[in-house]
Structures are given as structure tokens and as C-alpha cells.
Chains A and B, each alone.
Chain A
Amino acid sequence: MTTPLLSINGLTRTYPGVIANDSVSFDIQEGEVHALLGENGAGKSTLVKMIYGLVKPDSGGMSLRGAPYAPANPSAARAAGVAMVFQHFSLFDALNVAENVALGMEAPPPMRRLAARIREVSETYGLPLDPARLTGDLSAGERQRVEIIRCLLQEPRLLIMDEPTSVLTPQEVDILFETLRKLTAEGVAILYISHKLEEIRALCDAATILRHGRNVGTCVPRETSARAMAEAMVGASFNAPRRAGQAAGAVALEVRGLSLSAPSAFGTALRDVSLTLLQGEILGIGGVAGNGQDEVLAALSGERLTDPDTIRLDGAPIGRLGPNARRALGLLAAPEERLGHAAAPDMSLTENALLSAATREGLTRHGFIRWGAARAFATRVIADFDVRTPGPETAARSLSGGNLQKFVIGREVLQRPRVLVVNQPTWGVDAAAAAAIRQALLDLAAEGAAILCISQDLDELLEIADRFAALNEGRLSGARPTASLSLDEIGLMMGGAHDMEVAHV
């Protein structure tokens, strides 16, 4: 066998109280797409940060094409030919595309030449991009292109991609995969991190599985089932969500002609959004990030007010009611941003439970807080949703993303809502926890609640939603039964072709 491009030998890194990586070893060959699998907190991020020079290993070493490789910082890693596309985009909204690219380069050419280079490379790889546009105005897919182009301009030997497809439409994923295949044909190796196992099966040549910071095995994704890989990651078998399959009931929530101006310079205006949500059903709303998801949630939760008759709950106009009044009536919401929107980061779980559940669970009396009842409610959420935390007095900030997400969703589900609106309920959550959250939503619907699930994860929507609608630039398509939809049709709906019916002549 030839010398591997990157060879990792016994990398270990500990943080106070946690072993993030425990002597991890594996090799990446030139021109190979190598998947890194693992649950949240399995140590994938720490590992790639060590490869990219952001974190130094406690022990162990790496070699790049046979030579020792120990990058002191990201510039050293970039100089050695290692580039990285981040999960949370490392972009600057107020700067334009060319400036963002320049910041990721060691010695960028003058701006005018750089702009020409960006145009050229972006067209070569099928990722068209205008260098003069402000990054804050771009869609998530375009933002990712900026990151990829930034990496490609340095002609990397190894490209690290952390969850690259989580915000893309199926068509955009296809474009991305084509680009990646072009790259591997040129000999570039790709280290690919994703929770989407089907994608890994389609794209990757080899996979390394991490569990609790240890390398617990390798596999060839093409020859392994997604289920087997998921179980190897978790170290146990788990159940895929089951749906009860029952008839939908009366209209629970009705929205008619909802139009709202954009809340900020980088927000999206809602244009004539109408939808009907029935008791006992889950309506899935798909769409690429930044097409009005946050704005729909804000209008339904009561953060932004509308005309009274625009939104009706069980027939009663609620457009002018604030969040607490809507909660009292049974309309609950769980926004996407866990820290800062769904939860107050520096407050304890008990306090966070209190903030949303005070009305419905009777956690206050005459303006005084019933701490005992609040703590009991928080404890119940923690127990029922398997939130892994020392206790209800822990600050929300110190929970891992997946655990906090379980808490945030559980807090709303346990308040027995009549209508629940969730945005990205399993974003950045590992397979087992995501399955648990989806099961909870299905169970809630089976009990007769109406659920509006906004998500960018199409597999999730296809799994749990009864009907599907897509948001595009603030417009909502008509809802169609999920069972009869193909991925291609969904992609078209998300792209804005709302009326896909071919004219019957």
C-alpha cells in the first residue's frame, strides 16, 4: 500500500473532567472520501480541530505524506495543505464574498484579481458566486459555497467538511457531491463528518466510527447498512420512530393571508402565508434556511403580532395576543436557536422551565414563584426526555446541544399543548436523541395535538409529517400529503415552483 496522505496515531486530548479523544488512530488515503461518524460529544469536533491546528493534542501524533505534522495554528495547517469547511459557518455577515475569502487565505492577491479568481474557480467547480455580494444577504447554500471556494483557492490536499449538507436542498446536495467527486478525481482527500448516514453511504469510501472519544471500528459505508452504522455509533440498538396512523380531526389552527415585513435587514418578509392545521396531524414545513422559517414561528408564537383574524386557534382570533396569552390557550412554540431564544443560557433548567411553563403548569401563585412545583416540572422533563445533566439547577449553557434540545422540546411537549410549533427540532442532535424527539412528537400528535414542524431536514419531515409544504422567500406552497411526494418534487417546491401541476390541456 502507498503512504497514506494523513496518518493519525494515538491522538489523545482531555478537557477538565472529559476525555474528548482517547488514542484515536486511522489513515486517510489520497483521493478518498473518509467519513467520521459518531454521536454528539463523541469527539469528532475535537479531532478535526487537532488536524486543523485549532487544538493541540495532549499526546499522540500525525504525519502528512510520511512527514511529521503538528500544526501550531490554522495558518500552519493551511500552509501544509489542510483546509476546513466549518459546521457553523465561519463567515462575516457584514463583509462581502471576496473579503470573506481573503480572510481565509495566507497571502491573498489584490482584491480585483481575487474577485476574478473567485469567479473562475467557482465556475470550474459548478458553484457560481458573485464576489461583490454581501455575505449576510446570501442563502445558506451560497454561504457554504463561499467557504468551499475559500478552501479551494488554496489548492488543499485534504479538505475537512463538518456537516456540510445540513442546510442544503436535495438539488444543492447533488451539486455539492458532484464538486466533491471532481475534487477527489484530482487527488484531494476529504474528511467528511455528517449525521446523515444515507449520504455517507452514497459518497464515502471509508468510515471511522468514534464513540466516547475512542475509535470503535471502521467500515466501508457502501457495504454497510445505515442502521448498522447508527448502532455502531450508539453502541446499542434503538427503535426508529413509529407512527400510529390515525385520521386527522377538526381544524386546530388556521392562518389566512399572513403578510409581515422583514424584522431586520437580514430577515425575510412573509408574503400571504396561509395554512390549515388539523388536530392529530403533523404538518411539515420544509425550505432552505432563511426563507422565512424564523418569521413564521415568531408570528405563530406571538412574538410578532398580526391582525386578529389572520391567525385563528380553534376558530377564535388570536392574532393580537402575545406569547403568554397564546400559551394559556394551548398554542406553544419551540424556536430553533436553543441558546438565547428557546432557553436563557445563564439561567438554570428550573428557571428555564418556569419561563415557558408558568402559565399552563400553574408554577406561579399571586405573582410568587412556586419553586417546588417548578423544580418538579423541570425534573419531570429531564426524566421523561432522558436529558443528561447533573440536575435541574444546572445552567442551560452547560448542556450539550443535543441534551438542551431534548429539554427544550420536552418542556413544551409535557405542557400538553393543543397546537405545538417547532422549528428544527433535531438540529445538530445525534441519531438516537433525534429518534426520541421525533417519537415524542408523533406520540403527541397521536393524542390529538396538532403539530407544525418546521425543519430543513427532509428525511425528518418525510418520516414524521402527514402533509408537507415548502417555504420559499417568505411564500408558503400549498400542503400536499407526504406519502405521495418524491424527493424531486419536494426539491422543486423548495426552489419556488409552487404550482407543479402540469397544465392539463
Chain B
Amino acid sequence: MGAIDPTLLLAAIMVAATPILLAALGELVVERAGVLNLGVEGMMITGAICGFAVAVNSGSPVLGFVAAAAGGAALSLLFALLTQLALANQVASGLALTLFGLGLSSLLGQGYQGIKPPPTPRLDLGPLSDIPFLGRVLFSHDPMVYLALGLVAAVWALLKFTRAGLILRAVGENHDAAHALGYRVVRVRVMAILFGGACAGLGGAYISLIRVPQWTEGMTSGAGWIALALVVFASWKAGRVLLGAWLFGGVSVLQLNLQAAGLAIPVEYLSMSPYLITILVLVIMSADRSRAPGSLGRSFHASQ
């Protein structure tokens, strides 16, 4: 058991939590606007391959992340067209989006297997990184970790303090009333969906460019589904999404370390522990009176 170094463990948690944090944050905004997009997994894997391919070809991880966001957003635009303009069922469209994204990414990814992407440099925070313990845990990561954390704060502040956030919440809470007051329900939702797609794409690219880093088919392996569950159990609150992502990332890293340390618990139990513990904790936390946005998953049509 002495083989586990707490400093490295905590630093690894920050990294492990980032992909689902990004994806869940995007989905949080989408759901607060009243749309249920089950295609997170598909958008993540599409972002993963788009980012990987562009980063390998251009040699620039920054361009790779931009391409990943664009790829995820492009796929989510398809979902937006289906559900907001053609009024297709959101659950079915979202599931289709996941299947489509998985297929599309394997097609795009042919020829990229076994290649190493250009490394993403760690952000140099100067003396901060030299602080013992805290420097390693908090201040020696790649820029995407900080971008994700900044995004948590931004989404929280947007929803709580700004007029745009208020309109977004109003559209998700009661789309008929929002329409009656003259707000463009469909436009708000399409923008939220695009934001969600871009975030999921970034989350996917974080796996393929930094966390792993290489391309294998289906490499997101359910992270999108965890992100979806996280949003629900976090009661649609940005702060709790962060907590849930850290928890999930933490238990994932911990159980890998425990496996490596040769703990006398069957590997299968350790592997399922992140899912079980995250859901258990979030279920307990979500037992307050917060509830889903009122119009979540319902199609909006401006009738007479």
C-alpha cells in the first residue's frame, strides 16, 4: 500500500476528471435550456478523432483542440436540426447521434492508429509550480485542466448572474411561457446544443491528445454516459458537476493504483467501484428539492 504517492494521486485525479468535466458541463447547459442530448458519447469520440487528426497533421495541439470543438459542434448541429427544426424525438436522435459518432470516428481514424500526437506542454506557472505538494497537485498541469475549471466558474456565473443565463433557464423551465414573452426558444436551444457539442468535443480530444495519448477506436469507453449521469445526479448545478467529476476521476485513479499495488480484491469489483461510488454519492446529494428543468426533453413548436 505504501506504493501510492498521494501527491501524484491527486495530480492524476485532476487530469482524469477533466474529460468528463468538460462534457458534463456542456450537457448541463444543454439540459438547462430544456434539451436532452444523449449523444454526448458520440460527440466526444468525434472530437477525439478530429482533434487527434488535426493535431498530428498540423503538429499543433492548440489547432487540434479547436478542431475537436468544431467537430463536436458540427455533430451536435445535426442533432439540433433534427430535434429543433424537424421536431424529431430527442431520445432517439441522441442515441442515433452516439451510434453515428462512434461509426464516423472509426472511419476517420483509419490510419491514425499507433501514432503519437504532438505533446501538449504543461502551463508554466513559474514559482507556483515549485511550491511543495500544492505545486505538483494544482499548478503543474496542461492549459486544458485550467480551461475546464474556468469554464465551471463561467457557466456557474452565467446561469446565476447574467440576463443570457436567465433567458436560458427560462427557456428550459417553461418554453411556452418564454415564447409568449417573445424569446426565441429554438435559437437559444440551438446555441446551447452547439456549446454542448463543442465542450464534448474538447473532452474527447483531451483523452486522445493528453490523457492516453493515442488513437484507438471507441477510446472514450463510456465517458459520455458518465457525463450524462453526472449532470442528472449533480441536480443541474455546475459546482456539483465539478465535485462529481473529481469524485469519479478520483476513484478511477485510486482503483487503478490499488490494482497495481496488488490489493486482494477481485479486479472486477475495483473496476466497477468508480461508477458505484459516484452514483451513490450524487444520489444522496441530489435528495434536496432541486429538480429537472420543466421543459426537459419536450419538443417545442410555436403553435397558435
Chain A positions near chain B (C-beta within 8 angstroms): 15, 20, 46, 49, 53-55, 73-75, 78, 86, 88-95, 99, 102-104, 108, 265
Contacts and interface: CB of A to CB of B under 8 A. Distances in A.
Contacts of A90: 174, 176-177, 180-181
Contact of B181 (A55, A94, A104, A108): A104
A91 B304 contact: no
Interface in B173-220: 173-174, 176-178, 180-183
B174 A91 contact: yes
B166 interface: yes
B180 A94 contact: no
Main secondary structure of the interface of A (DSSP, over half): loop
A55 B304 contact: yes
Contact of B170 (A55, A86, A103, A265): A103
B304 A92 contact: no
Given A92-B173, A92-B174, A93-B174, A73 B182 contact: yes
Contacts of B289: 265
A102 B304 CA distance: 25
Given A92-B170, A93-B173, A102-B166, A265 B291 contact: yes
A93 B166 contact: no
Contacts of A53: 182
A46 B303 CA distance: 12
18 contacts: A73-B182, A74-B180, A74-B182, A78-B182, A86-B177, A89-B177, A90-B176, A90-B177, A91-B174, A92-B177, A92-B178, A92-B294, A93-B174, A95-B166, A95-B170, A103-B178, A103-B183, A265-B289
A103 B166 contact: yes
B229 to A, nearest CB: 21
B237 interface: no
A86 B174 CA distance: 14
A55 B180 CA distance: 10
Question: Which of B177, B182, B291, B294 counts the most A-chain CB atoms under 10 A from its CB?
Answer: B182
A198 B177 CA distance: 30
B179 to A, nearest CB: 8
B182 A15 contact: no
A94 B292 CA distance: 10
Contacts of A74: 180-182
B158 to A, nearest CB: 14
A94 B166 contact: no
Contact of A94 (B183, B293, B304): B293
Contacts of A265: 289, 291
A208 B176 CA distance: 28
Nearest to B303: A15
Contacts of B291: 94, 265
B82 interface: no
Given A15-B304, A90-B176, A95-B166, 13 more contacts: A20-B304, A53-B182, A74-B180, A74-B181, A86-B180, A92-B174, A92-B294, A93-B173, A93-B174, A94-B291, A95-B173, A102-B166, A265-B291
B167 A103 contact: yes
Contacts of A73: 182
A80 to B, nearest CB: 13
Nearest to B290: A94
B40 to A, nearest CB: 24
Question: Which of B169, B170, B178, B289 counts the most A-chain CB atoms under 10 A from its CB?
Answer: B170
Interface string B270-304: 00000000000000000001010110000000001
The 4 closest A-B pairs by CB, nearest first: A74-B182, A90-B177, A92-B173, A90-B180
B163 A102 contact: yes
Contacts of B293: 94
Contacts of B177: 86, 89-92
